[in-house]
Structure 1
Amino acid sequence: MSAKRIAFYPGSFDPPTNGHAEVARAAARLVDKLIVGVGIHPGKSPLFTASERLEMLHEVFEPIVAAEGASLDCITFDNLVVDAAEAEGAQLLIRGLRDGTDLDYEMQMAGMNAVLKPRVQTVFLPASPIARPITATLVRQIAAMGGDVSAFVPPAVLVRLKARFGRTG
């Protein structure tokens, strides 16, 4: 029997976007279990609570991950990403890349993480052309100003954004 392949996909997911869902789908193709970690940072004031983000992630990612033959777990963490990954038994750390700026930053992080936890391998998954411009920050800003974000977030997230801001597409 082979060892179970477990990946840790960290982020703030505030809110989860179509880009996040795309990365989760690609990651699920590589592993038996995908653990999505919502980072909790005391100095930040997120739009959605950690509980709300976990609910959205389960709702959106569960069918996507299951369709790829993997299981899903969603957790919160407030420590180093590599420590959280190791604590969950993950061998892989999943990071999505949109552009060269992401690559530069993520390469630095991967190098530092490899020194801290050599057994946790960072895997970069490139965004599709349609997902490249999507950021949770821009989604929040557009939604707060009444813009249409329906092309950037899953329907379950759009419902919550509409409830939070009113008309958003």
Structure 2
Amino acid sequence: MIQHRAPHYYSNFADWAKAFDCPVYLHEADREWVMGPTSYVHFWSGESLFLAPGVTAVHLGGHFPGSLFLHWAKGSEGKGTILTGDTIYITPGLDRVSFMYSFPNFLPLSAREIRRIRSIMEQWNFANIHGAWSGKSIVGNGNEVIKQSISNYLDALEG
């Protein structure tokens, strides 16, 4: 089994939380990566966490065990928006998404893992996807892009 590396942003999120005086919600699957106690970190378990009316953190796993996306039901003029990072990664052409276990080593997630992600994504309505980096957005057809990308991945991985 491949060992996981430390998740991104875990070295400084507590400093940012303190600077902005805001909580950080982490899925318990990533608990081991938090270095040092901080009152700003709130661990949660399960499939989803209601954060505010129409705003839900959804446990996705994949790139890291605790990976998640944020679903904003009223985003995209009521069609829904998701905010994501590496587990659902928007490709440079802004017309596909990638599902990578390791970006530096070009290792995709397994077909089994992608099918699991598909079952989670089917539960959420959204038109837009916004990634963690500037200029990484898919507007209007995000749900269809994810469905097609999953199909493409499974075809490639399973032949």
TM-score (norm 2): 0.29
Q: For CA contacts below 8 A with separation 6 or more, give which structure has more relative contact order.
A: 1
Q: Larger strand proportion, structure 1 or 2?
A: 2
TM-score (norm 1): 0.28
